[in-house]
Amino acid sequence: MLQVQNLGKTYEVPVRESGLKGALSSFMKREKREICAVTDLSFDIQKGEMVGFIGSNGAGKSTTLKMLSGILHPSKGEVTVLGFTPHQRQHEYLKRIALIRGSKPLFAPADLTALDALHMQRIIYDLDFKEFSKDLNRIVDWLQIEPYFKKPLRTLSLGERMRCGLACSLVYNPEVLFLDEPTIGLDSNAQQRIRHFLKEYNRETNATILLTSHYMEDVTQLCRRIMVIDKGRLRFDGEINHLVERLTPYKFVVFTLEHSSVLPTDLSGMTEEGQDGKYTMRVPNAQVPSVTARLLSEYSILDLNVEHPPFENTIQQLYTTEEV
């Protein structure tokens, strides 16, 4: 579905000294500097995959999505999506993809109602009315946006606009979705609703989804595979579990002891005491079964849980590791 080979994007940006002298000098002779936003990206994505594409601000995520969707022309490399070259922006290609940006989920005039915006999409994409109605009913049911049908778009909250934006982008059944921060600024309930919808859409349509997000829950709940980009270069491409096992080969055993219990030295040395009598022990993966069995058999345990380290810790460690 997506094939990317040695993809790169370089921008020319004007630079000048500050102050009046710098402004006058720039007026007479403008100096420019090249900034490399993306460098030698290569990857393939198969039909039906949901892939997380993550990295820090300025890493090149949005630039990559814009090249894949055809908004930007690459400076070098080759890209094919569904057999098309994106920057040629062929009509048949644009009808089969969608780029959805959480910062601006709707591109319809603000005075239109949500239902008007959906019908505008039907006209733009020249959709059969019966097929459109069937697909619309399915998407409306998934996203629960019928209460907004008669409201002008400018009156909707951010979460409501995001759901309506998804509906407008998906009502023509695109085969490839590029999602740029789809849950940014939303509360936890709205984020969970969007995640649930994306799972359902992928399961029902087998659409291919490439997702960028700074919310790691978006990635861990939706994607098995992730690509991590850092300073324009691809640092990791593989399954989340593989990355976690390589960089954080331990788990946290969180338990609560009765007040009369005292841990021996070999266990207390790897344990931190928290609030309400809770203890957190960092245990290598291979030792988790034996440590938990010992705690349960030798001590009065009121409560015990085994937890994975926060995924943010793994990503942070990746940025400071030379090789994965």
What is the predicted pLDDT for the residue at 197? 87
pLDDT of residue 45: 95
Which of 9-18, 31-40, 78-87, 188-197 tops mean pLDDT?
78-87
The whole-number pLDDT of residue 263 equals 66
Q: Which of 244, 265, 282 is the last residue of a domain?
A: 244
Of all residues in the chain, the percent with pLDDT exceeding 70 is 93
- Average pLDDT in the 214-235 region? 90
Q: Are residues 191 and 168 in the same domain?
A: yes
pLDDT at residue 80 in the model: 95
Region of residue 323 (left: phi > 0; alpha: psi -120 to 50; beta: else): beta
pLDDT in the model for residue 71: 93
Q: Note the pLDDT of residue 77.
A: 94
| Of 23 and 65, more confident | 65
Same domain, yes or no: 209 and 71: yes
Structurally, the chain folds into a number of domains equal to 2
Beta carbons of 144 and 64 less than 8 angstroms apart: no
pLDDT higher than threshold 70 for residue 313: yes
Determine the 3-state secondary structure of 136 from DSSP: helix
Handedness of CA 198, 5, 96, 185 (dihedral sign): positive
What's the pLDDT band for 18 if we cut at 50, 70, 90? confident
Listed ranges 78-92, 181-195, 264-278; the one with the highest mean pLDDT: 78-92
- Tell me the CATH number at 72: 3.40.50.300
Q: What is the DSSP string of 182-201?
A: TTTT--HHHHHHHHHHHHHH
Quick check: is 160 in a domain? yes
Mean pLDDT computed over 138-156:
87
Q: For the residues 111-123, what does the mean pLDDT come to? A: 90
The answer on 286 and 236 residing in a single domain is: no
- Binning pLDDT at 50, 70 and 90, where does residue 53 land? very high
Which residue in 198, 216, 186, 192 sits closest to 55, CA to CA? 216
Question: Is residue 162 predicted with pLDDT exceeding 90?
Answer: no
Query: Quick check: 285 pLDDT over 90?
Result: no
Provide the pLDDT for residue 264. 62
Q: State residue 145's pLDDT score.
A: 86
Residue whose token pair is 């319809």: 108
State whether 191 and 205 are in the same domain: yes
Domain-ending residue, one of 227, 244, 261? 244
Strand-pair category, 250-257 with 233-239: unpaired
**Higher confidence at residue 267 or residue 66?**
66
Instruction: Based on the fold, state whether residues 232 and 89 are members of the same structural domain.
Output: yes
Domain that holds residue 266: 249-307
> Is residue 304 scored above 80 in pLDDT?
yes
Q: What confidence tier does 102 reach under pLDDT thresholds 50, 70, 90?
A: confident
CATH classification of the domain holding 257: 3.30.70
Res 223 pLDDT > 80: yes
Indicate whether 117 pLDDT > 70: yes
Contact 179, 103 (CB under 8 A): no
- Residue 286 resides in a domain: yes
Residues 222, 88, single domain; the answer is yes
In whole angstroms, what is the distance from residue 14 CA to residue 33 CA?
6
pLDDT above 90: residue 131? no
Strands 208-212 and 176-180: parallel
For CA atoms 203, 141, 220, 58, the dihedral sign is positive
Nearest CA to 233 out of 43, 32, 75, 1 is that of 43
Mean pLDDT rounded to a whole number for the chain: 86
Provide mean pLDDT across the span 263-281: 69
Residue 158: band (very low, low, confident or very high) from pLDDT cuts 50, 70, 90: confident
The pLDDT of 189-202, averaged and rounded, is 88
| Residue 51 pLDDT | 95
Dihedral angle computed from the Cα positions of residues 289, 291, 292 and 293, in that order, rounded to the nearest 10 degrees: 80
Q: Is residue 315 part of a domain?
A: no
Quick one: average pLDDT of 88-97? 92
Distance CA 111, CA 202 (A): 31
More confident residue, 31 or 122: 122
